[in-house]
Amino acid sequence: MERISWHQYFMAQSHLLALRSTCTRLMVGATIVRDKRIIAGGYNGSISGGKHCIEDGCYVIENHCVRTIHAEINAILQCAKFGVPTEGSEIYVTHFPCLNCCKSIIQAGIKKVYYAQDYKNHEYAIELFEAADVVVEQVELEEMVLDLHSEEKLTFTADLLNRLENLGLPSTELESLKEKANKLYTSS
């Protein structure tokens, strides 16, 4: 078995963190890394001990939930709380950072931002990252790397479809099954 890349490892961690999110609008996770070591992680949700969106709904003002602290901010604040420097570190985020998170990332001295999915990529955020010499790169999570048996499943499915074809399954049914298998293995 081949080892997964560092990018996939840290992005998978961010996606795992996102599963702790209490936001009902978008689940986001962030992992701060220095020297290939995780120094902090965060997800979007309410303040510690506060009401959560999953319990009381979002508190929306001007189309923004003001109850939610973004994942990137939570990760940066975790570093601040425990005295862990962020200067020169990298951050892996499930979604492109919003404008406020962009400014916080720059102020924290984080030098590289890796994100999995585009999300309202603000032009000014992109401009600020460029001006601050922050490297920004999209690194999508390859979900198949998390499945230790993905190759076996792909081979089994391909063999099964071939056998059905050899047994004379009508082409319309076979194409339908192939489409379903393709969606199953390529969905994100």
Instruction: Give the catalytic positions in this structure.
Output: 72
Q: CA geometry: angle at 80 spanning 77 and 86, to 5°?
A: 95
- Inter-residue contact 104 to 30 (CB < 8 Å): no
Which residues is 78 bridged to in the sheet? none
Three state DSSP letters for 98-136:
CHHHHHHHHHCCCCEEEEEECCCCCHHHHHHHHHCCCEE
- Inter-residue contact 31 to 9 (CB < 8 Å): no
Closest CA to 92 of 151, 34, 165: 34
Residue 11's identity, in one-letter code, is M
Cα torsion for 124, 128, 131, 132, to the nearest 10°? -170
Q: What is the maximum alpha-carbon separation in the chain? A: 67
Structure token digits, residue 185: 């293995």
